[in-house]
Structure 1
């Protein structure tokens, strides 16, 4: 039943690539699937050094040491690593038997599996877990800051409790925009001004005559998918402002304005009256990565920061077409 032809059918069905390694000459023979996976020539054996040139530099030394130790490694082994092929990064899992089990005429045998989709799914889960942890920590900071804001103008504990409840309720609505409940989706379309007003409502101060938070944007529709992404970005900016920037003090103000430029929508977030500002160190925190990834990946744009003495200024550039999705 299990002749060479039937085994080949089975390996093709499972997406398994085959390799053999001559432990004396260091030559590696690959089947057709393995050649495609690595993107190497098909006119004969290749060497481990040749394959090494395609391994991601960050993984190369680990793969070298692990692969060389497989001859004395007891039992089956599995090595996962990245390869660079056609300007793309793929994840490969190399598997075989250690301790020279199954070696024939100085030749060892094993398989390669393309595990890119699995690795990408794992990275996505790690990113989601990291984002959740990051946002939970931010929520604790925000709750403390909103309590201080509510206490500024309240004459009694009853007024303070009512003010704080209203702000936390607004924060909950903003959170729903950023992360709809399971089974629910963001609204199909909303006005950009209404969206920004809802997101920034928890931080405004109605008692101030001039308005602590000012929003001035044209009548632009934002699609449900973009609304969720933009909510994440605005929430991150507001969180940083209430922790370190203009919204952290009673005298601070926030001005958000939007203009249309060719195929882009440009939102300028200007903070004034807060603590002295300085540009952050080169180290990029998780929140900055989240904002940058969201702006480029989902909104087809970018975000830049300026640090004048008067306060931080963030400029968000978004594709009009993406914003409507």
Structure 2
């Protein structure tokens, strides 16, 4: 049975007869902590007042255990306990209200008891049940006299005994609740400590000055220390990481917010290990934090793998760049054998260089800090003029792009740019190119708009670019890249003095 906390057992209601098992009663009585309330001042005041109220020499608060009755508060009696076999309270504790015995020597239930028999034995007894919140009978608040009292208790005394018994139960229950709360705190602290001691991280707690007040066994072992006074993070941190870590800790203390940093800590053998360090304040309400909790996760092995992968990726990138250069050289050499293929060689070389730029663009270790559609288009159009001037303008969202999308995007905008330089706006001094990028949620719309075209060249333009009736190679390349590789949509509109190409590209493909 789970012990209740509130409320008290209802007045004028007998203890639950199903809850009289001695094992259960022993557990419930133990929860009240009899040792903690033995001769308690408040309970002593209650029994003294009960004795005066009922005009008797003896008053007791008894807890009836399996083999004894214990007097946790007493007036007029030196003993702290007697055997249960001599207990009148064991009878009183199961009743509905006070059990009143005018003359115990004349009552067949009690006449033969050791405490009743004889000239100085108990004669008058009145006891009110003490019942736990669950309905378990515990004992009684009783008053005793050596002289018989045929009239028993008057109405005021009966009522007073009931009120005082409720006060006794409130005092006992408060003690039980306090013990319960303390036990919960101890269990919670134990669970937290065991959690900290068994987590595969280095955990600590420090005061506001940064002095470590607790460290889990893993941290003791890492540092090789036996005493908290040996923990000094300033000594453990690698000199190259100290300034950044110190700044993070200071800003965190000033703002009373958590901090996180990546740094190397020195192990007991002198080897530095990469760690992710975190610390956060323990805050209650509006109070200033007095304790900071921290944890460190060893990521040195992952860092080594990551560094190795970066090194491999750089080497592969370098070799790919070399391959582009070799291919470009081969095209140039072979082109010299065919004097009529200069234009084709030039186009192929330009395409290879564009693929090289796309390759660089999506490699953060190549020195770039962002990979966006806006940035890629800017990169490809820069050779044709100043971006943002009268001739070329790019506007709209950045829209991040991934490695898989970079190559087809580079081919698309390289084809558009070279065609514009040959036949379109970039081939005329008064031509203008506007590129607008619009984020539509799941898709990105790119509008490539050329104006100021030479009407005299429209026939040549249409043949090179392809018209609505039949597409040229360039338009087929665009459509294949947009619709085939990026699963987008490609539309083109040509007039005598303008060209507009609209691309609708799914974001998930761009970011792949």
Pick 1 or 2: higher relative contact order, CA cutoff 8 A, min separation 6: 1
- Structure showing greater radius of gyration is 2
TM-score, normalization by structure 2:
0.28
TM-score, normalization by structure 1:
0.43
